[in-house]
Structure 1
């Protein structure tokens, strides 16, 4: 675990006044040769349940962003039971609002940065842009 990445997302969470930040990365299972996505770095977590989340590309918030290479945002996540089944990080961390952006290098997704709030609020375009900008700032740290 990179101490520098952890320190960076801890600082981001405090500066941007969000409840939760996570970075999802992928790894290939040697035995099955399948790619899974997991939450490698988190800040503001309420428990350790995020460690049990292993997603396929296209599933969950991180999987959707990974597959599409595009940002994702959703609100009122706790009010919709379907969201809670399909978005395990929202369920486990009790997130009401989530904004996620791909961490891209040379047009390929290297990771997913997620900002979450436990209180209902409407994400503004500048918040989405902020997450995208922060995702870009993380590229050099993930390369180390």
Structure 2
């Protein structure tokens, strides 16, 4: 799946989303093809390459929680507004993200990926921004499905 970085359309969707919302970070995580672990495959606005080494278990971290629940999740003031330990949020720690909004990506009706946007300051993502995320998630689902499945 490392070939996702070479998909120019994927890069365009993520860069456009980052510009339209004015966020600091956009990340894309996918569940491994074999096993329940979730890895970050693409990032824009990243401070470093630590995201590439982050693997979380199904149900853990933001990515694992989104995939296990199939529902969006917002954190407005990390680490003050979280459930669980700070270390349960490795992408926030690695990228110094204070506010994040993440949505699931569905393949064949099953959540298998996550699109996440983040800011390095306290922030609440408005409904309009959440709608832009949903549109971008649908575009990415199509792109990824065409290239991977």
What TM-score do the two structures reach when normalised by structure 1? 0.87
Gaps (5+ residues) in structure 2? none
- Residue 19 of structure 1 deviates from its aligned partner by 0.4
Stretches of 4+ aligned residues off by more than 3 angstroms: 78-83
Q: Over residues 71-124 of structure 1, what are the superposed CA-to-partner deviations in whole Å (9 max), with x where a residue is unaligned?
A: 010111044695531110001101110000011233211311001011211222
Within the candidate set 132, 137, 141, 2:143 is matched to 141
SS of the equivalent of 1:45 reads coil
Within the candidate set 3, 9, 18, 2:7 is matched to 3
RMSD: 1.8
Query: Which segment drifts farther, 71-80 or 58-67?
Result: 71-80
1:96 to 2:98 alignment: yes
SS of the equivalent of 1:47 reads coil
Q: 1:69 to 1:118 in 2, by over 3 A?
A: same
Q: In 1, are the aligned partners of 2:17 and 2:132 still within 8 Å (CA)?
A: no
Whole-angstrom CA distance in 1 between matches of 2:33 and 2:143: 21
Whole-angstrom CA distance in 1 between matches of 2:81 and 2:131: 26
Whole-angstrom CA distance in 2 between matches of 1:125 and 1:98: 14
Q: What is the number of equivalent residue pairs in this alignment?
A: 140
Query: Where do 1:125-136 residues align within 5 Å?
Result: 125-136=127-138
Q: 1:83 to 1:73 in 2, by over 3 A?
A: farther
